[in-house]
Every structure is written in structure tokens, then in C-alpha cells.
Amino acid sequence: MNIKQYLQSVVAHIRSKEAKVYVEAELAKHMKHSKMAWMTKGYTETDAEDKAASEMGSPIELGKSLNKVHKPKIDWLLLSLFIGILFLSFLPILALNQPQYDYRFGHMIPLFLSNHILHIILGFVVAIVLMYFDYRKFAQWGYIFYGIASLFIIFLYVFHNTQINGEVMFEIGSLKLQVWMAIPLYFIAWSALFTKETFALWQGIVLVSLSFLLFSFIANLSALFIYSVLVGVLFMYSKFSRKQKVIVVVAVATLIISYIIFMWLSYQSGIIENYQIARLLGYLNPIAYAENAGYMYVLLSDLLQGAKWFGSGTSHTIPAAHTDLVFGHLIQSYGLALALGLVLLLSLFVVRFIRISSMTKHSFGRLLIIGCITIFSTQFIYTVAMTLGVVPIVSLSLPFLSYGFMPTVLNSFLLGLVLSVYRRKNFIQDVSFSKLNAN
């Protein structure tokens, strides 16, 4: 039996089409090495192929073994958590004191509720489509994703048709194109580039600097913050040497410290006035600025002090109750017990992500999951922390629970990537086929 016949016999017992292609390529490589070894011993090409095939053992048994090992799987635990949090995401909207209505389909229906249903459907579709998509194909598109993300930001800056709190957007009907949409593209780009052996450090520095410059055109510090943390974490887990990482970290830390010192000296010398850093002063001393910049910190403090374990506590009117301050809204509306339960549920997502990362042997897949953990947990931890008054209040969403297209679809995108990696985690590199056959 020659190599081609042997391979056909093996893959005939493998159900997954993706696995068939992978196994055939890996097994062919292994058998060709074996064939060359036999030819160096004086065997003819035909005899060497027969020897290479015979030492692999029964193609039927090997095919059955490889079918078990390379069977795509669905993470039903993570999928169940996802479905559960999507149902719970209706709670903030249902608790709104003044829901908005719109005339649609011949009836007056709650605007937020109908939009949220649409967001959930889109998010679920995105997650499932990504789960079945082979994430490894993204590894070759690093520069393409980087280019698309950069062009998208340039498009927003040049052709924006609306502006909210200084942030430029492009509005199409009820959909707003925001700079947040560039983050998933950059995320895949950096995951691909940081695992690319030929990608040099100087190229990374140039591209990172360019992307930061583009982000500076759009007045969205929250998106820039998430992006900065993402790039930093991915770089620390990249293929670069420890020495290169230390040099970059020291350089970045020096720039940050220098900037902080410059800002402090500027404030002390009167170059920077109080109104220019009102948000920071309101965070540092909310009581003194309770009438303006410190108002939200005082309100959240009162809300937490009056919260009950079950049921509604205080009756404050919370700005952005269904978006940025949704966690405070949930505490006030349903009690501390539910809020802590949601924190536990979101923490389970992070724990599951970490567990899947530890099971993933593919470097690009592992970096993708690390990026998902970074984006998801940064949103989650910061949003909870700012409700508790630990960090300054910014425009940031609680994954899945905040209302909006991006909080739902962006995080569904992350979950879909994790499900895609998990589905193919058994496509192991450098499989010892002879060992599998022996087992």
C-alpha cells in the first residue's frame, strides 16, 4: 500500500472535514520523512512507501483513533452561561422607571426592549457563526485586519455625521458606527502579528504608535483605555524575547511617569485650571465637588449605603442607568444578592476562558483567548469598580448587561472566538501517530 492509498484509508474513518484536511497533511508529512529514511537505507521508492505505511500499523485502527482525538467539540458549559446571561440582560431594561416607546409594526412598543431583542439575536448569531468558523484562517490576515481597522477610524474621522460628547460617529438609521468597532479588528490583527515569526519589534512599535495616533482623532478615552490594555497584555504573551519585553515595558513606564509628573507640575504652577481636570478632582474629593463633578460619586455612595439584599433600596434617578451605570441600577432595583450573583456569573466566564486557554496548544488560538479574557475582564472589573467608587467614572459597559449594540455584539464576538478555539482544541500539533496507533 503506497502513501496515497494509506492516507485515503485513514481519513475515510474521520468524520470532521476540517480534521480530515489537518490529519492528512500532518500524516503525509510524517510518512514522507519515514519514506526518505527507508530510501537512505537502500530501499526503492515503492518499497520505502510500503515500509512507511506498514510501520504506521492498520489504517482503519489509526483512522478511528484520530477520529476520536480530532473530533470538534462544543463547550456546552460556556454556551449555557452565554444563553443564561442573555436572558438576565433584560433585567436592567425592565427596571427602568421611564421606558421609551416607538411606533413599530403598527403598534407602540418599548424602544429599548425591542432594540435589545435585536441586539441579542445579532449577538447570538455572531457567536454561533464564529464558533463554526475556523479561527486559524485569521492568522494569515494580520496586516489586512490592521489596515481595515485603521481605515475604519479614518472614515469615522473624515465622514462622521454625528457627535456625542465630543466623540465622532457615523449614524445610519438607528445604528451608530463607533470607534469601538475597530477594537475587534485590531484585536485579531495583533493576535496574528504577535505570533508571526517574521514580525519584528520595530514593526510593532511603528504600527502601535500609528494606531494610537488614529485613536487620538476620536474623543473616546474608554475605547483607547481598553485598546491600550489589550495591546499591552498581548505583547507580554507574544513571541518576543523577555529582554525585548523588558525594554519596551521600561520605556512605556518611563513615558507614563514623565507625563504624570508633567501634569502635576503644570497643575501646581497654575497652567492647568481646576475646570480642566474637574472629573479627576470630583473623583478624588467628591464631597467638595458634590454639586458638579463629584455628584455621581456621592449618588452611588448613597445608593450603596441604602441598598438591600433583596428588592429595591433607594429611589435615585441614575443617569445612564441602562448603560454605563447599569451595575448601580441593578443594585438599586433588585438588591445586592442579585448583583453579587451577576458578578459570580461574569466571573465564571473569565474562569472558563482561562481554563480553555490552558487546554489550547495552538499559539495563535491561545493568544486569541488571552485577548478575549483581557477585553472581557477589563470591562467587567472596571465597571463594577467604578460603581463602588474605586476608580473614576468613565463611559464603559458591563458585558452583556449594559444596553447597546456594542456591549452585546462585541462580547458575543469574543465568546464566539473562544468557542471556535475550544471546538478545535484537539487539533493537536505534532501528533505522534505511531503512539496513537499503539494505544
What pLDDT does 17 receive? 67
Q: Specify the pLDDT at position 293.
A: 79
Strand partners, 107: 104
Which residues of the chain register pLDDT less than 50? 103-108, 429-439
pLDDT at 432: 37
pLDDT, residue 429, reads 46
- Which of 426, 415, 413, 383 minimizes the C-alpha distance to 401? 383
Report the pLDDT value the prediction gives residue 431, as an integer from 0 to 100: 39
pLDDT for 213:
93
pLDDT value at residue 107: 45
Residues 6+ apart with CB under 8 A from 14: 20, 23, 63, 66, 67, 70
The contacts of residue 298 (CB under 8 Å, 6+ apart) are: 286, 287, 290
Look at residue 103 in the predicted model and tell me its pLDDT. Answer: 45
Using CA atoms, how far apart are residues 408 and 119, in angstroms rounded to an integer?
A: 6
Q: For residue 427, what pLDDT is reported? A: 64
- Do residues 107 and 361 touch, judged by C-beta distance below 8 A? no
351, 359 Cβ separation under 8 angstroms: no
Alpha carbons 225 and 378: distance in angstroms, whole number: 9
On whether the CB atoms of residues 163 and 169 are closer than 8 A, the answer is yes
- What's the pLDDT score for residue 273? 66
CA 332 to CA 312: how far, in whole Å? Answer: 5
pLDDT confidence of residue 337: 93
Is residue 340 helix, strand or coil? helix
Q: What angle do CA 166, 169, 175 make, to 5 degrees?
A: 135
pTM of the predicted protein model: 0.82
Amino acid letter for position 39: M
The pLDDT of residue 437: 39
